[in-house]
Amino acid sequence: AGLTIDQWVVLQALHARDGQSPYQLAEATFKDRPTMTRILDLLADKGLIRRQTDPADRRRYRISLTAAGRAQITTLLPMMEGLRESAWSALSPEEVGQLVDLLERVFASLEDG
């Protein structure tokens, strides 16, 4: 597939909500702006995303998946879900719940500063 984890995470974020701004994508994926710009440049070079001028503010742009980007998601999503299920299978449902709670607390503390 030729994608890094960071590139995959951005594609997934666009799959969940296409047409986000680079800032929104950076926030959603916990990346800083320079890192997001680099990831978007690489994805655009691969033909997986396109930048379109924001009709509400022509100084900004929105990021959308291309047909190739959607095809990449369609191809990789089942495989990635299988990997995720395999990773979680080592934990009981109770342990998964505890882990999710702990991670939510960690992310909340990071957001609070």
Output the domain CATH number for residue 92: 1.10.10.10
Counting every residue written for the chain, the total comes to 113
- The label of the residue with tokens 């095809």 reads 71
Query: For the chain, how many structural domains are there in total?
Result: 1
Q: Which residues pair with 13 in a beta bridge?
A: none
Q: Judge whether residue 55 has pLDDT over 60.
A: yes
> Percent of the chain, pLDDT > 90?
68
Report the mean per-residue pLDDT for the chain.
92
CB 43 within 8 A of CB 1: no
Taking the C-alpha atoms of residue 84 and residue 25, their distance in angstroms, rounded to an integer, is 22
Which distant-in-sequence residues (6+ apart) come within 8 Å of 60 by Cβ?
Answer: 21, 53, 54
Q: In terms of residue numbers, what domain contains 29?
A: 5-112
